[in-house]
A and B are shown apart, each in its own frame.
Chain A
């Protein structure tokens, strides 16, 4: 899952990004509305955390401009918590609204929830044959047994679970697993896939040559 944080308060932005990364998101950030809009339109984020009071372009304008082109889930963060502000935000197409000061873990939970819903999943526990992905505790069990995974490995499995039976391209994986600062060498992904096959069985991930990968729900791992 990749998130974009558009927040002008440097300390807050830093903390939010750090928290998101610790919680398994790949996170990009920017400090003004214009840059935020540029990034939001040019990358495919799973969730955008958008402040309202921004330099150059207000959060409302950014929201409107994003909604004109994209359906990316947006969580508005703002110190204005009047009912009118919330209603306005939701009416303009925000997916959720979090008034400042907020609880970091609540912010993460909301960001995760709206991202998950954008995949059409309401249940925080994703099932993939005999595998269960708990997006809340970020743990994966296979036949009821906990599988030890790194954060990145978990993120990959979570993506496959969200997009089960769909072809997932390597580009899609790169875009949703790594943030803009990470050096995403192509063989890194191969390494992860290899390790996941070791942990979940050879047939867990099917390679479609020239297209990408697919995790089929009917194949028993």
Chain B
């Protein structure tokens, strides 16, 4: 059965492959070694022959002797010493030849008819003769052959003499058997150690995967603070781990943002609810005069209105989040949105003696004009809120390339640079502006404004100087990109 784990599968492949390679290599080595041993034996067999050949040379021609003592070289012709008996010759031969021969080898001499002239004691009983006919007369030839369990080197001499030196192949067999043992053990050791090294290496290289899995599991249980340790992962897995970590970061951010949003939303709702609850409870504690009742009802109404604004804004944002936020785009002129917005907020501005400068020019395009008006009202009411008495606010609409620009500039308190990046966050209010904004502000106006501008494929920028004023610039594309068109239809 093939295990499901990568490590197990790697291991099986690794071990199988290692075993095959080791087996092939060791077998080849073994076979080669067998051949070498055979050749060594052959060489051992053939070597004495070279030394012995002279002793089997034909006798010198008789005319060399002129009587008297034979020359010293006579000894080189042992087989033909005239004056010795076969017994003596045999003894001399054994002394001269066999003493130099490896005792494990045997020696035999066969004559032309194939009769064994001489055989050492350890020689096998059957030693077939070699036919000398393929050879030319007086030619020396060395033949190697098998004889039963023995290997023999045969010197085929002149006149059909065979000088046979043989040796048992059991030496080789023993040697090979020993080699087999050694090789088996070596092979086993290599495979076993290779197996464990492979297991270990696979473990090391797969450990990051284990770490990643472990971290992912921890995260899946809801603890988002965990991250994969990328310090000691291999480069390939390290890259993956980093990508995963980034994903986890984003996930954590998104979830934290969601948590914060929910918590902020509940906080924002609790405040007016606690006002209503406290007023009602206080008023109902005992009999009150009519003015107290009226006060309480006004307070409740005010808080309920605030709750309604909050709920509306929350619903709007929920629509944005769920992708149900739809624009109804028509061919429209931005300037048409400016005038109603200004009319609507004129009274509010007048209360603070703020002068509104409207410098609208036409800029037509495909817009959801009611949403654009919402943007304008949001920006304008914010501007009025944060501009002191007697200040100035200007609203301008312009064209820039394929975009419409809406610029709302105030001479208000300005926004601190560190706040600007978070300005469009939901419920983001600084303690500095909270006091002014709290009355009617939901804390969601700018988030919704941005959502509307984003839905139009536009952008919104803020430039501000503390104590001088703020400029909001909304850039809206007049002709929307194809992809956005697809989305809106």
Contacts and interface: CB of A to CB of B under 8 A. Distances in A.
B270, B274, B276, B286, most chain A CB atoms within 10 A: B274
Tell me whether chain A's interface is mostly helix, strand or loop, or mixed. Answer: loop
A93 to B, nearest CB: 21
Contacts of B273: 100-101
Interface stretch (B102-110, B175-183, B277-285, B357-365): B277-285
Interface in A91-117: 99-105
A32 interface: yes
Q: Please name the 8 residue pairs, one residue from A and one from B, whose CB atoms are nearest each other, closest first.
A: A101-B274, A79-B270, A100-B274, A55-B435, A79-B267, A104-B281, A15-B278, A11-B299
A11 B281 contact: no
B273, B281, B286, most chain A CB atoms within 10 A: B281
Interface stretch (A16-24, A131-139, A169-177, A190-198): A16-24
A209 interface: no
B270 A15 contact: no
Contact of B434 (A55, A99, A104): A55
Given A18-B282, A19-B282, A104-B281, A9 B431 contact: no
B401 to A, nearest CB: 43
B431 A55 contact: yes
Contacts of B431: 54-58
Interface size class of B (residues with CB under 8 A): 20 to 34
A11 B302 contact: yes
Nearest to B300: A11
B440 interface: no
A18 B435 CA distance: 22
A79 B278 contact: no
Interface string A1-42: 000000011011001101100100000000110000000000
25 contacts: A8-B435, A9-B274, A9-B275, A11-B303, A12-B271, A15-B299, A18-B282, A19-B285, A31-B435, A55-B431, A55-B435, A56-B432, A56-B435, A58-B431, A79-B266, A79-B274, A80-B267, A99-B270, A100-B270, A100-B274, A101-B270, A102-B277, A103-B277, A104-B282, A104-B285
Contacts of A81: 270
Interface of B: 263, 266-268, 270-271, 273-279, 281-282, 285-286, 299, 302-303, 431-432, 434-435, 438
Contacts of A9: 271, 274-275, 438
B285 A22 contact: yes
B373 to A, nearest CB: 31
A11 B275 contact: yes
A16 B281 contact: no
Nearest to B436: A55
B278 A101 contact: yes
Contacts of B274: 9, 12, 79, 100-102
B438 A8 contact: yes
Contacts, number: 76
Contacts of A102: 274, 277-278
B276, B303, B431, most chain A CB atoms within 10 A: B431
A126 interface: no
Interface in A42-84: 53-58, 79-82
Contacts of B277: 101-104
A8 B438 CA distance: 9
A22 B288 CA distance: 12
Given A53-B267, A101-B274, A103-B281, 10 more contacts: A9-B275, A11-B279, A12-B278, A15-B275, A18-B282, A55-B435, A56-B432, A79-B268, A79-B274, A104-B285
Contacts of B275: 9, 11-12, 15
B271 A79 contact: yes
B275 to A, nearest CB: 5
A103 B274 CA distance: 8
Contacts of A55: 431-432, 434-435
Contacts of B268: 79
Contacts of A16: 278
Contacts of B435: 8, 31-32, 55-56
A213 B279 CA distance: 39
Contacts of A53: 267, 434
Contacts of A54: 431
A79 B286 CA distance: 27
A32 to B, nearest CB: 7
